[in-house]
Amino acid sequence: MASRNIVYIREFDKFDSMGNSICRNTGCQNLVKYPFRKYCSKGCSKQFEKWYYHNFYWERVRSDIFKRDNYTCQICRKKYPYTYRKKFARSKRLECDHIIPRSLYKELGFRFDSLDNKIKTITEFLHSHDNLRTLCKECHKGVTKEYLQCPTDLYLKNKNLTHV
């Protein structure tokens, strides 16, 4: 995992009241220690990287959903061929669908105004495995068309969701 340089996003930097750097790992409040520039230990560094990689890195999330759904469209049930490239499952005929569209995050009470809210929005909605499924391109087009033709209130009602 050390070869991935995806976790050095400034927004994840934490500081105490004196301005000292605190370990980035979620839930850890220890001061950063040498030689770990952003973490208190190698364990926290690896734990944060794994958490970040499986929750925020779209290629990884999508690959996990394809595997979970056995490379099968969840509407028409047709199974499609896939390959692996750079450790991720890929298919020219499959797409990862947000069951509740990403554009509705505000209507559902999610916000992007702070790091904590961004993390919550991404982990509990945008990249939540409960809100993702594998669809073939044709079925995905149909689902998207249905969503675009339906007013937001009615769409949410049909999905048994309400505005927050």
Q: Which residue has the tokens 């220890």?
A: 30
Query: Could you read off the pLDDT of 92-147 as tens digits, one per residue?
Result: 889 999 998 888 888 888 888 877 888 888 888 888 999 999 999 999 999 999 88
Which of these ranges, 4-13, 95-104, 143-152, has the smallest mean pLDDT?
Answer: 4-13
pLDDT value at residue 8: 56
Question: What angle do helix axes 42-56 and 58-68 make, rounded to 10 degrees?
Answer: 70
Query: Could you read off the pLDDT of 154-164 as tens digits, one per residue?
Result: 777 776 654 44
pLDDT value at residue 3: 43
Judge whether 62 and 96 are in contact, CB under 8 Å. Answer: yes
Give dist(CA 111, CA 29) in Å, integer: 24
User: For the residues 15-39, what does the mean pLDDT come to?
Assistant: 89
Q: Where are the domains of the chain?
A: 1-56, 58-164
Question: What's the mean per-residue pLDDT of the chain?
Answer: 83
Tell me the pTM: 0.68
pLDDT value at residue 32: 94
Closest CA to 48 of 16, 67, 22: 22
Judge whether 71 and 62 are in contact, CB under 8 Å. Answer: no
